[in-house]
Structure 1
Amino acid sequence: MDSSLFCSKYCGHPRQFPSFWWPAIFLTRRPWAFDGFSAYLQKCIFTAVTCLPALAAAVPTYTAIDLGSLGGAHSFGYAINAGGQVTGYADTSGNAVHAFLYTGGVMTDLGTLGGDGASFGLGINTSGQVTGYAAMSGIGFYRAFLSTGGVMTDLGTLGGMNAGGYGINASGQVTGYSDVDGGLALHAFLSTGGVMTDLGTLGSGSRSYSSYGFGINDSGQVTGMSQGGGDSAFHAFLSTSGVMTDLGTLGGIGSAGLGINASGQVTGYSDVDGVALHAFLSTGGVMTDLGTLGGRYSLGLGINASVSV
């Protein structure tokens, strides 16, 4: 994952995401929304696995690039690949919110799955394939999609009505989460070649346990968060070949995995003591606290092959 983040003045977007999209935990890696600014790219690397004093040794200078919009007032860049292609979402001239693909200075509207509502681009791979979720025509539900060459494909659900894509790897495998049959819970999924597989949860004691897939590597390993690790709290997990492993916490009640590299190392965030959240690095099932820059909160959003978080 590229270490770039997208930064702007925080304020609420006038459009709201569907309620199914919000994981039931203290914080999530939401598609944050911004008002009054076009999307722009600002490289902001947090190399947490090296010494913190090294960060202060040099302050690099970066250039913000205005990515424009789809004709409306707002846009937000959410994910970027190694080639500098960006996906996110933007207002259109028709007062809708659509996913976009930005390539070589051109922002392309990815449309919806036939609905007149919104779509959101949340993940992009090295080939420029995009995943996210989009409104379905006439039924008021949202579905995970895979957009290839500007053609948006519905990835279906796990038997429920809603689904959303969140992470995508180089071969076009997608992870995210979906309503399961009966609508009692949301489960993480792995979609391969258009076939959606339920990754389950960390426990089988309740049909209402939920799980969410956030990050995926090129081997198809998935990280996210799930209930079922002995209580109703969410714990970060690593799913390998469909087997979900609890990554634990930093001593608090909950955690979530957000990024994963080719070696299966995971980063995310964990409750520490009930009042603070810290970024972590999980290697071989051992979770290490990456600390903060002096405050109470830090989140690990992505990790690369060099174990920079």
Structure 2
Amino acid sequence: MTLPSAAHRLASLGLTLCLATGSLGAWAQTSFKLRQVPPFMDLQNHTVSTFANAINRSGLMASGLYQQLGGGTSFRCDKTSCVDIPALGSPHHSSTSAEAINNAGYVVGTSPYQNMSRGYLFDGANSMNLGAFPEGWCQGCDLSSVAHDINNPGQVVGAGETADGPYRAFIWQGGTMTKLGTLGGVSSEARGINDRGDVVGESTLADGTTHAFLYRHGYGADDLRDLGTLGGSWSAAHAVNGQRLVAGCSTTAGDTQTVAFVHDGTSMKALPTLGGSYACASDINVHGWVVGSALITGDAEWHGFLYDGTQMIDLNDTLSDEVRARWTVTYASGINRHGQIAAMGTHKVHGSERALLLTPRAP
């Protein structure tokens, strides 16, 4: 049986979006339009790499750049311009990472702070220090933290250093950092949060292995649910949508392969691969569409993927021939409700690694 083309599957995906959102008129996407994300557009400069880690409903992205000689700058970007995100305590420099953005345009990430790292919240003008766990000899003054995600109500999740050393997952809200528990081990890290306040991430077990977890809003801080694995010793959850569908990746039996998964609250489902030995999901939207990165057949290259609920689609197969001659989409990091994807890619002529925006193109 011949499988439908990527374009045909995406056309069906576009129709699903039209029905799910109740929009009027026929809307069908057959391909993606690729746009390089500012601020750094010079393709011939190989010393700078740019990234786009997340995208919100209106298309604003948490983005930035890294330099080979060290240092990084983070931005909040739209299609044409960017706003610099200042580092904590240093308004003339920028933070080192921008991890997530909510629909209000607030960005979270991690910034250097004194001789530590701290999670921050950028409100469009200023960066707020999210602080650390109030413990140890000086109530957290010497402890680090990292921030990974923010939901629309303004709750932030990440991980904080403890006085004993290991990092623990946290939920931050209104100036208060609440420590979450573990799955029996010494450490945990929160990666994603939905608007209900449900949190996902990974935690060590008593035997030292690491499993994905789900924390449901309203439960006790130590009440983390072990989501298990796909037969291996490791799994991690990176995103959760409003229906509590969880996306991440897990090793299989023997730990020889890593595959992307979706957990529906009952069981962990392995997603198809692109033929290689590694695939991992980074985000899931309100419609249950999943994006991430995977090795292709022979582990020859990294390609960004979209899983539409039935098929694993190589995002490079959704681009025009002209664009594919110039770009390889290597990683898809975020997807919004409209199907816009924050991605990264390599320019085939110059070898530059750049942040990309993929926008569904109607036929």
TM-score bracket for the superposition, by shorter chain length: 0.7 to 0.9
- Provide, for residues 31-84 of structure 1, a one-character-per-residue CA deviation record: whole Å limited to 9, x for no partner: xxx44x4x32223xxxxxxxxxxxxxxxx522x212222114551322111101
1:165 matched to 2:190? The reply is: yes
Amino acid at match of 1:127: P
Range that drifts further, 238-247 or 284-293: 284-293
State the distance in 1 between where 2:66 and 2:234 align. Answer: 33
Task: State the Cα distance separating 1:250 from its structure 2 match.
Answer: 1.0
Between Structure 1 and Structure 2, whose CA radius of gyration is higher?
2
Correspondence 1:27-176 to 2 at 5 A: 34-35=71-72, 37=73, 39-43=74-78, 61-62=80-81, 64-72=82-90, 74-75=94-95, 76-92=97-113, 94-114=114-134, 115=140, 116-137=142-163, 139-176=164-201
- State the match for 2:14 in structure 1: none
Whether the aligned pair in 1 keeps the contact of 2:62 and 2:75 (CA below 8 Å) is no
**Partner secondary structure for residue 88 of structure 1:** strand
- Provide, for residues 259-304 of structure 1, a one-character-per-residue CA deviation record: whole Å limited to 9, x for no partner: 1011211111111121111111112232111117444552111112
Whether the aligned pair in 2 keeps the contact of 1:229 and 1:235 (CA below 8 Å) is no
Task: State the Cα distance separating 1:150 from its structure 2 match.
Answer: 1.5
Question: As a proportion of its length, which structure holds more helix?
Answer: 2
- State the match for 2:285 in structure 1: 261
- State the match for 1:222 in structure 2: 246
Amino acid at match of 2:111: A
- State the match for 1:197 in structure 2: 225
Which of 270, 287, 296 in structure 1 is aligned with 2:312? Answer: 287
RMSD: 2.0
Unaligned runs of 5+ in 1: 14-33, 44-59
**Partner secondary structure for residue 302 of structure 1:** strand
1:249 matched to 2:284? The reply is: no
State the distance in 1 between where 2:69 and 2:175 align. Answer: 28
Question: As a proportion of its length, which structure holds more strand?
Answer: 2
State the distance in 1 between where 2:300 and 2:144 align. Answer: 35
- Provide, for residues 74-130 of structure 1, a one-character-per-residue CA deviation record: whole Å limited to 9, x for no partner: 5132211110111111122x3221111122423211111134231111100001110
Q: Label 1:285 to 1:10 Cα distance change in 2 as closer, same or farther (>3 A).
A: farther
Q: Give TM-score scaled by structure 1 length.
A: 0.79
Task: State the Cα distance separating 1:151 from its structure 2 match.
Answer: 0.5
Task: State the Cα distance separating 1:222 from its structure 2 match.
Answer: 0.6
- State the match for 2:336 in structure 1: 304
- More relative contact order in 1 or in 2 (CA 8 Å, sep 6+)? 2
State the distance in 2 between where 1:147 and 1:199 align. Answer: 23
1:232 matched to 2:256? The reply is: yes
- State the match for 2:67 in structure 1: 10
State the distance in 2 between where 1:242 and 1:65 align. Answer: 42
Amino acid at match of 1:42: C
- Give the total of aligned pairs: 263
Runs of at least 4 residues off by over 6 Å: none
